[in-house]
Amino acid sequence: MAKRKAAEATIDLAQYKFDPEMKQPHRAAHFLDWLATRYPGHWVRLNFIVKAVNGYKHQPLERSDEVKLFRNRMATVKRTLKDMYGRALIPQRSVGVRASIDDADRLRNALPARMITLQRAKDRAVEEAQAIDLKNVPNTAENKPYKEWFAKDVQKVLDFVSTEDFDRRCLPPASTEP
């Protein structure tokens, strides 16, 4: 925690300028882009972002309603950061968030999380598909295209992704960092 506070203390918010006409998620994406350019690799907590994008002198508490509301807008911040600034949002539990610095940073820090998400989503889809017995699905006009889709396409996809090789390829390499 001391490192995080020390890192936030090194950020000169007086140098950060924002357009108050922008909506808060856009200001947050703008701030994270600014931070990645001037302080690459610095993690910040959400309450620090709220302070920065609202021009506050004092930092709101992490448990404040304002920070909780902002946390619910992080999906919009993430999308805006990607669409407008070409950066990924990289969260680190108990540390904070930051924007990616470059493609190498995205490769090492953003993509592995997405691949693990893909693997987990695949596991849930396989479980759901395995719970379906087509013999128990009535042969109606409404069900016919779904049964054909399941038998023809879904089974092929599931056969491909249900291999150990697929799972292995989703996992990032072992970390070489100390």
pLDDT tens-place string over residues 143-164 = 999 999 999 999 999 988 988 8
Q: Is residue 175 part of a domain?
A: no
Q: Which sign, positive or negative, has the C-alpha torsion 106, 112, 116, 122?
A: positive
CB atoms within 10 A of CB 12: 9
Do 8 and 90 fall within a single domain? yes
Q: Are residues 35 and 120 in the same domain?
A: no
Encode 123-157: b = buried (16+ Cβ within 10 Å), e = exposed: eeeeeeeeeeeeeeeeeeeeeeeeeeebeeeeeee
Token pair in block for residue 69: 């509301």
Structurally, how many domains does the chain consist of?
Answer: 2
Q: What pLDDT is stored for residue 111 in this prediction?
A: 94
Residues 13 and 90 in one domain: yes
Is 8's pLDDT higher than 90? no
Confidence at residue 3, expressed as pLDDT on a 0 to 100 scale? 52
Residues 95 and 109 in one domain: no
**Claim: this prediction has a pTM higher than 0.85:** no
Beta carbons of 96 and 48 less than 8 angstroms apart: yes
Instruction: Name the band, by pLDDT with cuts 50, 70 and 90, for residue 94.
Output: confident
